[in-house]
Structure 1
Amino acid sequence: MSIHPNETYILSLLKDLLITPSPTGFTREVMKRIEQEALNLGVSITFNEKGGAVLTVPGQDDSYTIGLSGHVDTLGAMVRAVKPEGTLRLTRVGGFMMNSIENEYCVIHTRSEKTYTGTILSTQPSVHVYDDADTFERKESHMEVRIDENVEDDEDVKKLGIAVGDFISFDPRTVITPSGYIKSRHLDDKASVAALFGLLEAMKRENWKPRCQVKVLISNYEEVGHGAAYIPSDINELIAVDMGCIGDDLSCKETDVSICAKDSTGPYDYDMTSRLIELAEAEGIPYAVDVYPNYGSDASAALSAGSNIKAALIGPGVHASHAMERTHKQAVINTTKLLAAYVK
C-alpha cells in the first residue's frame, strides 16, 4: 500500500535546511536542526566523530539493515587571504565553476561567531573601468569578496575579526513558485534530506514499521568525497539519496526521480537498481534511469572505503547542479514515495 507524504512538512523542512549555512566543514548548526527534527519525530539519533548523524528506525526484522544516506554539507568557500585593499581572496570548498558564484551575496563566518555580509566579484567587475571585464577569466585568483563594512585595508578587516580559514557561505536565494518549482542553491543535497525526513514523518504519522531495520545517514563531508567513507558495520545495503543530473545524454527531468545505474566510480548494484525500477513502475512514479560520467556519491565513498555492502543511487532530478539549481516538489515527494516502497 502506498504512503502519503506530507507535502507541507517536506517543503517547510526543506526551506529551513536551505537557509541554514552549511558548507562542508561548517555544519554544526544544520546538524542541530537535524537532531531537533529527529527528536520531534521520536527517532533515535547518534553522531560519529566527524559530526555526521545516524538515525535508527527499528523494523519488523532487525537482523537485516538498509541504509539510506543524504548529505547536508554544501558548496561554499573559505578565506584564503586578506588582501591589502581590504577585500578577501577565497578558496573554494567543493567543486563548482567560479563564474557560478560571481555577483552572489555571501556571509563570512568568523571563529568568534560574528558574521559579516559581502558580495563575490571578479577583480575586474565593471565594464566602465576594465576593457576586458567581459572576457576576464573567472578563476580563484581572479575572484574576491567585497565586505559590507567600512574597510580600506587589511588592518581594518583584521579588526573585524575576519581571518584566513573563516568560512564563506552563499546566499541560497530560495524560492518555491506557485507552479511547484523549487529554485535554490544547495538542493544538492538538502532536497534529498527533506525527502528522507518525509519518509520518517510518514512512518510516524501512518504508524507503520519498515520490513527491516533502517538507518538514515546524514553525512557532512560528501562534497569533498568522504561523507560516508565510514558507515555502521551492520548496514547490509545502502541507497544514497542524492540529486539526479539533467543535461546532454540524460533523460531525467525536474519532476522525475532519478535512478542512477552507473557514475564515475562504476556501476551500482544490479539487483537493487532493478528493484527500484520495478517499484517505480508499480507505484506509477515518474522516473528516469541514467548514467552520470562526472559524479560520485556517499554510496561510492562507502564502497571505496571497503564497506561490505550492496549500493544504489536515487534522488530528485535537479537542473544546473552546483550552480543555480532547480527541481520540482513532485520529484522530492516522489523520492519519498519510492524510498517508502523499497523499505516497506
Structure 2
Amino acid sequence: MNTEKYILETFKKLAAIPSPLGYHEEILPFIQKEIEAMGYSPKLFNRGGLSVVFGEGKHIGVTAHMDEIGLAVRYIKPNGNMSLVSIGGLYAKTINEADCQVVTLDGKKYSGTIRNTKPSVHLTERDEYAAPLDLSNNMELVLDEFVNNKEDVLALGIRPGDYVLIDPKTKILNNGYIKSRFIDDKACVAILLAALKHIKENNISLNKKITAHFSAFEEKGSGGAVGLDYDLEELVALDIGLVG
C-alpha cells in the first residue's frame, strides 16, 4: 500500500460525504465498508460510530471523529429564505457565500447558498453591509429553486430542523497541500483507517489490545466516548485543533 496516496484519496472521499453532528447516515456506512474490506469485523454503536478491537495485552484506544460542525434550518421566512442555527460552534464569517444543500427528513436534497441578508454593496448602507456576520441576525440560506414564499418551500418538504450540508470545497494540490473544510477530523479518520489497513496487509502482530474507535459525536462536546470499553487503560485522541 502506498500509505500517503491512500490517506489522501480516503480523505477526499470522506470530505465529500456530509456528516454534521447527528447526521451520520452517509459517512458511517462508508467507514464500515472500508474496514470490512480490510478483513475486520467492526462493532456499530446505537448512537452512531463504530470500533474495531484486536490484539491481546494492555488495552489502548485510538479515536478519531467522523462528525463535522454544521447547520440546520432554524425557521423559514415569509419570502422563502431560511434562518439558520449552528451545530457545534460554526462561525458565520467562514461560510458566507458557501454552496450548500438542505436535506429533508425523507432524504431529498435541495441546492442553495448561504449569504448575507444584505448581499449587494450597491443597495446597502456601508455600515450595514460591513456589519459583523451573525447567523441569527444577518445571514440566511437562499434556495436554488423557484420559490417565492414560505408555502413554496414547505411544498418541497423542507422543515425547521432539517440539516444544511456545506460544500467542503476540497482541493488536493500537486505539492501535497490540502485545501478543504472539515479537515478536522476527517484527515485523522483517514490516517486511522490507513493504520488499520497497514496492520492487516502486513500481518503485524501487536502485544497490546487495541481499540480503533470512530466517534460520531465530538463537535458538541459530549458523546465522543460512546462505545469505549471499561477496561481501557489509555486513549489517544487524533484531532485537528489548537491547544491553548
Task: Decide: shared fold, TM above 0.5.
Answer: yes
Question: What RMSD over aligned residues (CA atoms) do the two structures have, in Å?
Answer: 1.3
Query: What letter corresponds to residue 152 of structure 1 in structure 2?
Result: N
Residue 228 of structure 1: CA displacement? 2.2
Distance 2:223 2:213 in 1: 10
Aligned partners of 2:57 and 2:207 also within 8 Å: no
Aligned partners of 1:65 and 1:212 also within 8 Å: yes
Distance 1:228 1:81 in 2: 29
Q: Where do 1:1-344 residues align within 5 Å?
A: 6-56=3-53, 58-59=54-55, 62-131=56-125, 132-141=127-136, 142-230=138-226, 231-245=228-242, 292-293=243-244
Percent of residue pairs identical: 38
TM-score calculated relative to the size of structure 1: 0.68
| Higher RCO (C-alpha under 8 Å, 6+ residues apart) | 2
Distance 2:225 2:195 in 1: 24
Matched positions, count: 241
Residue 54 of structure 1: CA displacement? 1.1
Gaps of 5+ in 2: none
Aligned partners of 1:120 and 1:146 also within 8 Å: yes
Distance 1:179 1:25 in 2: 35
Distance 2:27 2:90 in 1: 21
Q: Secondary structure at the match of 1:222?
A: coil
Q: Secondary structure at the match of 1:140?
A: coil
Q: Secondary structure at the match of 1:44?
A: coil
Residue 211 of structure 1: CA displacement? 2.2
Distance 1:216 1:111 in 2: 31
> Per-residue CA shift, 1:85-118, capped at 9, x if unaligned?
0001110011122111111001101001100010
Residue 63 of structure 1: CA displacement? 3.3
Map of 1:252 onto structure 2: none
Aligned partners of 1:86 and 1:156 also within 8 Å: yes
> Per-residue CA shift, 1:265-295, capped at 9, x if unaligned?
xxxxxxxxxxxxxxxxxxxxxxxxxxx12xx
Structure having the higher helix fraction is: 1
Distance 1:161 1:194 in 2: 35
> Per-residue CA shift, 1:298-318, capped at 9, x if unaligned?
xxxxxxxxxxxxxxxxxxxxx
Q: Secondary structure at the match of 2:57?
A: strand
Distance 2:203 2:128 in 1: 59
Distance 1:123 1:21 in 2: 25
Aligned partners of 1:127 and 1:133 also within 8 Å: no
Gaps of 5+ in 1: 246-291, 294-344
Map of 1:337 onto structure 2: none
The runs of 4+ residues in structure 1 deviating greater than 4 Å are none
